Structure 1
């Protein structure tokens, strides 16, 4: 497969409702996010198109829809954005189409992404963004009205329950999580690497960070609900738009995370203060 662009029509689908042998175990607290901050992801965002894939260790390929990510918000995206409440945090915002659309609609919205290229693209589209991992300290923790996990980002870290727990720390009590899942009911945790169909899929990546593989998850709505229920989440809406399944979850107001309980004195802080106006180094980035 080296040096060729695989034909999407002959891709072998991932096993459904099974755990791949190269499975990540729950509890991956701080996964390596280096691959998303470098080539070939950055190249695809700069070009505005793929090919770009997640390549599993057994050679299975998942196409990534870079063209859609780099475009404007489509009808399926809008079906999720219309449900947003209060200030919105978009985890893994990519090139920023959702953050830009929310800003245009008058929402206070912040995107986070580990890719410098993605953050820069978000700024150019009029959105606000930080170059951060979801597992880094973030502004407004415990005070966001809505958190978005769209475009497969429920798979970040390869540990859906761990990501749900982190999301709960970010949301205000009673806040809303809107996640895009996959269809049908899949619960898969694997190791993958980014692959553009041109560079050899094996060997060290261009950053020197090992072999470039990182943990990832693909889950359907039923699997997500199974992970969410024990920690006090309950579904408030489920829908499919243009073939893309979504679920909205809300956590019981009586269930508080450690960070929320410890930060009671700051619970009235204004989220708008978390949108700085200057960019520098590792400082928060925002549109002018």
Structure 2
């Protein structure tokens, strides 16, 4: 991907591998501990998948959480050092690959469910993930995305698609140089699913118990059995 912001995302994650791994494994991020980790695990398990592809798996926490209920879990991440952390902890198979090589990385394997948990930060790279989904899911397979809620994350900026400066969640200050991210409106997110030949099954808005505001948004979609193959 040629966009300089896409490269900045990878650079930031590479720089923050150790403090991020510590923050996740010690549950230092309130919104994750209180709301969003449980929300994504419950959403995945509600479909009882036998095989799961975790896109942007980071240090591998989600596949570890699913490992007792899922027969096969493959985690993929573009940050090699995060993949090393995931492999060391176990709970699934983990491969280093960029988002534009997901299909090649999967080596012809198709999954009952693919999940992207706060891992779709870019522009072109994310569009490529959606374009490849029909080749990564079995017919009728499910794609679940948890991301920042467009209404809550827009702030005072105009409600239009575009790159935004990043900010780390409330931790102990050890995370630095936050990655930029590409803001999408609700309509733009829905458009990604439709353009990818996916049937949107539902949208969930997990609420933060302290604020009563959405802590995230979850999109749940299905690969249509009669969907045309990707070009």
Is 1:218 the counterpart of 2:159 in the alignment? no
TM-score (structure 2 length as normaliser): 0.69
Larger gyration radius, structure 1 or structure 2: 1
Figure out how many residues of one structure are paired with residues of the other and give that number: 204
Offset at residue 116 of structure 1 (A) = 2.7
Q: Which residue of 1 aligns with 2:120?
A: 154
TM-score (structure 1 length as normaliser): 0.57
Q: C-alpha separation between the residues in 1 aligned to 2:76 and 2:111?
A: 13
**Shift in CA distance, 158/200, structure 1 to aligned 2, threshold 3 Å:** same
Residues 173-207 of structure 1 show CA distances to partners (whole Å, capped at 9, x for unaligned) of 22211011332456533165788978996xxxxxx
Residues 214-243 of structure 1 show CA distances to partners (whole Å, capped at 9, x for unaligned) of 7x3233544311232244222112212243
**Shift in CA distance, 187/176, structure 1 to aligned 2, threshold 3 Å:** farther
Match of 2:141 among 172, 175, 194: 175
Offset at residue 143 of structure 1 (A) = 1.2
Q: Which residue of 2 aligns with 1:253?
A: 225
SS in 2 for 1:44: helix
**Shift in CA distance, 236/143, structure 1 to aligned 2, threshold 3 Å:** same
Q: C-alpha separation between the residues in 1 aligned to 2:216 and 2:174?
A: 29
**Shift in CA distance, 120/133, structure 1 to aligned 2, threshold 3 Å:** same
Match of 1:48 among 2, 23, 36: 23
Q: Which residue of 1 aligns with 2:163?
A: 190
Residues 80-119 of structure 1 show CA distances to partners (whole Å, capped at 9, x for unaligned) of 2223433111011011111111112233111111223322
Q: Tell me, yes or no, if the aligned pair for 1:76 and 1:244 is still in contact at 8 Å.
A: no
SS in 2 for 1:74: helix
Q: Which residues of structure 2 form unaligned runs of 5+?
A: 152-158, 208-214
Q: Which residue of 2 aligns with 1:166?
A: 132
SS in 2 for 1:257: coil
Residues 29-86 of structure 1 show CA distances to partners (whole Å, capped at 9, x for unaligned) of xx536415521x223235437xxxxxxxxxxxxxxx9747997983223222223433
Offset at residue 148 of structure 1 (A) = 0.6
Q: C-alpha separation between the residues in 2 aligned to 1:213 and 1:45?
A: 13
SS in 1 for 2:135: helix
Q: Which residue of 1 aligns with 2:38?
A: 75
Q: Which residues of structure 1 form unaligned runs of 5+?
A: 1-23, 50-64, 202-211, 260-288
